[in-house]
Amino acid sequence: MTDEAERKPDTKWHSMDAAEAVKKLESDHEKGLSADEVQRRLELFGRSTSSVNYPAKNGNMVHAYSVCV
């Protein structure tokens, strides 16, 4: 995977089907990434994190946090 393809801001990930996204990310939908490839991408891109607060139906805030490797 080239870092240019991954970081391209106009990539419409949300509109791709899963197979297209997996292909573009040079992964495998059944096996995932090898340990070596995971390490290489961590070194290249760092950890992928997302932290968002959503209002719950009862008015409380729900904190959604995910780390993708």
Cα distance between residue 67 and residue 51, in whole Å: 9
pLDDT tens for 4-36 read 555 566 788 888 999 999 999 899 989 999 999
Cα distance between residue 18 and residue 59, in whole Å: 34
Confidence check: pLDDT of 53 > 70: no
Cα distance between residue 37 and residue 42, in whole Å: 8
Confidence check: pLDDT of 42 > 70: yes
Count structural domains, the chain.
Answer: 1
Look over the chain and give the mean of its residue pLDDT values, rounded to a whole number: 76
Q: Which parts of 10-64 fold into alpha helices (H)? A: 18-24, 35-45
Cα distance between residue 7 and residue 21, in whole Å: 14
Residue span of the structural domain in which 8 resides: 3-68
Confidence check: pLDDT of 45 > 60: yes
Cα distance between residue 25 and residue 28, in whole Å: 9
pTM metric for this prediction: 0.52
